Structure 1
Amino acid sequence: MEVVAGQLQKPPPEGAFPIRKLLSAAVAGLLVAAAAVTGTTAASATPPVGKADEHSIKVCSDPRPGEAACAARQATDPTGRVITNATTPPGTALTPSQLRSAYRLDGTASGGRTVAIVDAYGYPNLERDLATYRQQYGLPACTTANGCLTILDQNGGTRLPRFDLGWAQEQALDVDAVSAACPDCRITVVQAASASFTNLGTAVQTAARQPGVVAISNSYGGSDASDATYGKYYRFPGIAVTASAGDSGYQGASYPASSSYVTAVGGTSLNPAPGTARGWAETTWSGTGSGCSAYNAPLAAAAGYGTGCANRAMNDVAAVSDPSNGGLGVFYPTSSKSSTWGQFGGTSLASPIIASVYALAGHTGAGLTGYANAIPYAHAGSLFDVASGSNGSCPTAQWCTARSGWDGVTGLGTPNGVGAF
């Protein structure tokens, strides 16, 4: 996706949308049959043409069996042209100060704790682009030279993988989101050789071994899967492992968000609300994923919350994800050489925000013996309860419709300071 400076460039077409609508039932039927062979589910493999598509585009391709797709989306204008600007962030984009204001993070520092980002493929200009983002907003420099930024391959070395545009845009969103939510956090980026769960999982294991890492963000997902197969990649007591719920509305569970070992992060829409006590209004983002795992054990901490799911229920918490209503200003690559400003969201934005709040709270790391996803359930009163909005139709109402208390779309709610983390 190339960008002409200062202009709105229409992205390549994603397909003939009327034909997609006519054939969606047939495609779903074929995927049901394929599920028996591949282990995927029609629900998780068939993103609808719905509200999440109206004013944004996805940046990564659909995942193949055994792989994940990044959960980043770029905001567009009503004609479908991406919102971008060569010199400054779009005027509608969320700034770091606005993000911290919305979640009452001002005045809280991490003391230099490290948030790890796991993504697929390489991004050769990551450090350069991150410097541009942080300079724009007056944030302290975060470089490899000053020890704030570390970039590794999936095995912990420096043989970084080949460039992939979509996943590089995902990485730009992730590191900018951590910078916005936690300006003094150190950032470690671990780049998997491909989007396979094996390679991404190996990268998570590498991230968990790095000194100082207290949270690991995974802004990607694929079909619901079993912890018996992949859980070893995400099972790290003491470290907050967060995962995006997905961006296609209610489609059933998505892995690794459906893992019993991670904090599953749903998405919201966030808008200024002058005159209110909080100053912000937050509702469910229609694009957020949610669901009930067919494989994994329920969280003991969630007992009594009425999830309606005998197994692992997504989600635990949420944060802003709507690309158009709360999308973050991001300095992102348009090719292997060039970059510009745009506005991004998806639950790919929510996951690194929540990982950063864990780092700010300071309760994860060597002193924590259990899994960090239990912490919010013990402190639900320290969250903003999001009680309105829906992400589609589902067999159990609370899986796809917000209500007071826990619901599948936004979990227990969104950060109100760091008390719940």
Structure 2
Amino acid sequence: MSTVNRRILAVVVSVTAAMSAVIGTAQAAPVAAKIAACAEPAPGFTRCLTSFTPQANGVRAKVSELPSGIGANDLASAYRIPKITDANTLIGIAIAYDAPNLEADLNVYRAQYGLPPCATENGCFRKVNQNGDAGPLPVTNYGWSVESTLDVSMASAGCPTCPILVVEGNSPSFPDLAAAVDTVVRLGAKVVSNSYGARETGMALSYAASYDHPGTTIVASSGDIGFTSASFPAVFDNVVAVGGTTLVRDESERGWAESVWLWGGSGCSAYIAKPAWQRDTSCAKRTTTDISAVASGLAIYSTESGGWMTVDGTSASAPFIAGLYGASGHAATAKPADLYRSGASFFDITTGTNDPLLGGAKCGNDYLCVAKPGYDAPTGVGTPNGLTAF
């Protein structure tokens, strides 16, 4: 196990031990086994927002021959997604580094859940570098490769018939990923998923123009360390910030129970003014998040890992929401404000907290880190109930 991952795991274990006294061992125990797929970033860099249970060597993910986590069919059931047969919105994925087996792994996932093939040959899949060229592609990185696989799998689950364009940045630096987003839009994507993040800073905000493209919906993960500083690029008011939930089957009419994912990000911006369409009162500036979806226990297939693995992270919820924008057919005209309009249909998430250490005390049991009826920061307006919100 690398020094960075050992440090991350040690922090998670210590947090879990303290947390169990506050919210109970049953909820806390599974967290200790997970490690972050990507290292904590240096200034000017982002990290992918995915975690997994490691193999005994502590580096790559534990795998199985068959999927054991939540799959595309579960997502369609839980969020009442109508059968998509003719949506053709181009979904863009902006990501760092090359995932060499991405197309093959995506199609193992799609075949498992009865989704149509998405390949270069049928015009559904395309992968380019940050300049928009087929090559040379960036170097490979295991953690970011897992992230890329999660992104395309979840976008596929959201819109099985939408074509996918993956633009691979040379690195996870602010300028390289901003260039990747610009390229995705230039090549025609009408919705772009960004499943990475960094602490909001003045330096990060200097790349705002790359996340503001009229005619394209930009989606970003809210973060994976709970209630804290707002995350770049989700904090921009023209970006749809996507938080995370935990989803389990139950005997309710819906068939699923949903609560705040313990590690899903939320926060108050230190820089971005309060949008007119956001009316919460405890945060004077932009609040993240806007909407949420499941971010825990997702099944994906990874050749580099050696089979099926189960991952967590708002890196799952953001590309899934991007897929739903693609399925709706409205990605070219949608805006974050639309999620707050009267008549949009959501499942209201009213249980759970993303304050892993103090169980809600960090925000004074306020909606900024504890789920409440109506809008709350961990889950925004709620999770999708069909496609009417998009």
TM-score, L = length of structure 1: 0.81
In the alignment, what sits opposite 2:292? 318
Alignment of 1:37-52 (within 5 A): none
Distance 1:110 1:319, change over 3 A: farther
- Larger deviation: 312-321 or 171-180? 171-180
From 221, 241, 265, give the equivalent of 2:242: 265
SS of structure 2 residue aligned to 1:302: coil
* Structure 1 position 177, deviation (Å): 0.8
2: CA distance, partners of 1:245 / 1:194: 20
Paired letter, 1:133: Y
Task: Work out the number of aligned pairs and report it.
Answer: 366
Distance 1:390 1:12, change over 3 A: closer
1: CA distance, partners of 2:33 / 2:377: 24
| Deviation beyond 6 Å, 4+ runs, structure 1 | none
- 1:290 pairs with 2:266: yes
- 1:394 pairs with 2:357: no
From 56, 59, 67, give the equivalent of 2:34: 56
Distance 1:379 1:198, change over 3 A: farther
Q: Does the 8 Å CA contact 1:66/1:196 hold for their aligned counterparts?
A: yes
In the alignment, what sits opposite 1:374? 337
In the alignment, what sits opposite 2:128? 152
From 337, 349, 358, give the equivalent of 2:325: 358
Alignment of 1:128-207 (within 5 A): 128-158=104-134, 159-207=136-184
Distance 1:76 1:390, change over 3 A: farther
* Structure 1 position 62, deviation (Å): 0.5
2: CA distance, partners of 1:183 / 1:364: 16
Distance 1:12 1:72, change over 3 A: closer
SS of structure 2 residue aligned to 1:88: coil
In the alignment, what sits opposite 2:312? 345
Distance 1:127 1:15, change over 3 A: closer
SS of structure 2 residue aligned to 1:160: coil
In the alignment, what sits opposite 2:18? none
Distance 1:16 1:59, change over 3 A: closer
- 1:72 pairs with 2:50: yes
Distance 1:239 1:74, change over 3 A: same
Alignment of 1:297-316 (within 5 A): 297-303=273-279, 306-316=280-290
* Structure 1 position 51, deviation (Å): 7.2
1:227-268 residue CA offsets vs partner (Å, 9 max, x unmatched):
751211100122111111111111221111111120001000
**Aligned-residue RMSD, C-alpha:** 2.5
Q: Does the 8 Å CA contact 1:268/1:284 hold for their aligned counterparts?
A: yes
Percent of aligned positions that are identical: 39
Distance 1:333 1:57, change over 3 A: farther
1:59-118 residue CA offsets vs partner (Å, 9 max, x unmatched):
0000110110000112469xx995411x3212xx11211111100003244521111111
Q: Does the 8 Å CA contact 1:271/1:280 hold for their aligned counterparts?
A: yes
* Structure 1 position 20, deviation (Å): 8.8
2: CA distance, partners of 1:289 / 1:413: 14
1: CA distance, partners of 2:9 / 2:196: 26
1: CA distance, partners of 2:53 / 2:104: 23
1:105-150 residue CA offsets vs partner (Å, 9 max, x unmatched):
0324452111111110011111121122222222111011110001
1: CA distance, partners of 2:49 / 2:345: 27
Distance 1:379 1:183, change over 3 A: farther
- 1:254 pairs with 2:231: yes
Distance 1:410 1:55, change over 3 A: farther
Q: Does the 8 Å CA contact 2:157/2:323 hold for their aligned counterparts?
A: no
- Larger deviation: 107-116 or 339-348? 107-116
Paired letter, 1:294: A
- 1:122 pairs with 2:98: yes
Paired letter, 1:300: A
* Structure 1 position 12, deviation (Å): 6.9
SS of structure 2 residue aligned to 1:300: coil
1:278-301 residue CA offsets vs partner (Å, 9 max, x unmatched):
111000011101000001122222
* Structure 1 position 395, deviation (Å): 3.9
* Structure 1 position 361, deviation (Å): 1.4
Which ranges of structure 2 fall in alignment gaps of 5 or more residues? 16-27, 356-360
2: CA distance, partners of 1:16 / 1:141: 37
SS of structure 2 residue aligned to 1:130: helix
Distance 1:97 1:114, change over 3 A: same
Distance 1:225 1:345, change over 3 A: same
Distance 1:192 1:277, change over 3 A: same
In the alignment, what sits opposite 2:24? none
Q: Does the 8 Å CA contact 1:70/1:170 hold for their aligned counterparts?
A: yes
1:178-200 residue CA offsets vs partner (Å, 9 max, x unmatched):
12221111111010000001100
In the alignment, what sits opposite 1:330? 300
Paired letter, 2:144: W
SS of structure 2 residue aligned to 1:84: coil
Distance 1:379 1:340, change over 3 A: farther
TM-score, L = length of structure 2: 0.87
SS of structure 1 residue aligned to 2:270: coil
Which ranges of structure 1 fall in alignment gaps of 5 or more residues? 2-10, 23-49
Paired letter, 1:316: D
